[in-house]
């Protein structure tokens, strides 16, 4: 679904992403993990052509992003950091608008199905200005899905959600992968969230890749290390992640 080779982004003398390479296979939930400021959002913005790489190659579905931008982006849905929605429009109006952006006619039944999936059907006719941050996050996911993309790229999708909302988002992401066959890239600084949903994980630190492997392999490596000051078994993976990023 996605191949990245030697991706680099410099802002003046600062290198935000440094020679990054990774591969995402079809049908995976692919976790993109790193602490705040590690370069995750910069990478995602390059994948979506919101900013231009300094160097490197990005290939989606076997095609160069640089040469096939419009065709590729029509098959991708995304949430990038904090959703920027129109506060005077309703949820239904947002979905109609995003459908038109993707070249489709609005479909009321599909809109209702998506709003049901993200738990907003009862507020479908409410203006987004009356929504909480968590509700806006869920509407942004529905907008990302309205054109039935092959690939979803979600940057910190649980931001602003309460514990039940976070659990619902996890379940929805897994169902999109297992039941609908979609590929999902999930960026987060929270290891616990990635651990519960990802099949494979990329860990970056200061713009560089420090690990890329299956979640099962990552967990096994963590359990085999003799990490100090780990009071409970559930903290072993977190301690391993911190050791990889130099903390």
pTM of the model: 0.89
Q: Which residues of 125-150 are buried (b: 16+ CB within 10 A; e: fewer)?
A: eeebeebeebbbbbbbbbbbbbbebb
Query: Cα(56)–Cα(6) distance, rounded to whole angstroms?
Result: 4
21 by DSSP, 3-state: which? strand
pLDDT digits (tens, 9 = 90+) for 55-67: 999 999 999 999 9
Share of the chain above pLDDT 90, in %: 59
Query: Cα(161)–Cα(167) distance, rounded to whole angstroms?
Result: 9
pLDDT digits (tens, 9 = 90+) for 91-122: 999 999 999 988 888 889 999 999 998 889 99
pLDDT at 167: 85
Mean pLDDT of 29-52: 93
pLDDT at 159: 77
pLDDT at 234: 54
For the chain, which domains are there?
1-75+150-216 (3.40.50.300), 85-148 (no CATH)
């Amino acid at each position: 679904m996605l191949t990245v080779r030697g991706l680099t982004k410099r802002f003046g003398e600062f290198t935000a992403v440094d020679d990054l390479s990774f591969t995402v296979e079809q049908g995976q939930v692919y976790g993109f993990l790193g602490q705040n400021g590690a370069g995750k959002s910069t990478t995602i913005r390059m994948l979506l052509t919101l900013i231009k790489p300094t160097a490197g190659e990005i290939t989606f579905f076997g095609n160069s992003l640089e040469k096939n931008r419009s065709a590729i982006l029509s098959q991708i849905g995304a949430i990038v950091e904090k959703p920027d929605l129109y506060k005077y429009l309703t949820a239904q109006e947002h979905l109609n608008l995003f459908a038109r952006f993707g070249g489709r006619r609005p479909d009321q039944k599909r809109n209702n199905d998506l709003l049901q999936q993200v738990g907003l059907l009862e507020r479908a006719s409410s203006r987004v200005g009356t929504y909480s941050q968590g509700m806006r996050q869920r509407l942004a996911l529905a907008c990302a899905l309205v054109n039935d993309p092959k690939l979803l790229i979600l940057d910190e999708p649980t931001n602003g959600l309460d514990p039940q909302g976070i659990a619902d988002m996890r379940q929805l992401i897994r169902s999109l992968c297992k039941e609908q066959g979609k590929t999902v890239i999930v960026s987060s600084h929270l290891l616990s969230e990635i651990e519960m949903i990802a099949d494979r994980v990329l860990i970056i630190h200061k713009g560089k890749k420090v690990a890329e492997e299956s979640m099962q392999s990552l967990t096994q490596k963590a359990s085999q290390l003799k990490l100090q000051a780990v009071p409970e078994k559930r903290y072993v993976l977190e301690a391993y992640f911190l050791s990889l990023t130099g903390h």
